Amino acid sequence: MRDVIFGCETFDDVQSAQMLGTACRVAYNERRPHSSLGYMSPAEFAQTCTASGRPDWP
Residue bearing the bigger pLDDT, 6 or 11: 11
Residue bearing the bigger pLDDT, 58 or 43: 43
To the nearest 10°, the Cα dihedral for 30, 33, 34, 35? 170
Alpha carbon of 10 to those of 14, 17, 19, 26: distances in Å?
11, 9, 13, 21
The domain limits of the chain are: 2-51
How confident is the model at residue 9, as a pLDDT?
78
pTM for this model (two decimals): 0.59
Q: Which amino acid is at 12?
A: D
Distance CA 27, CA 22 (A): 9
Distance CA 53, CA 3 (A): 41
Q: Decide if pLDDT at 48 tops 80.
A: yes
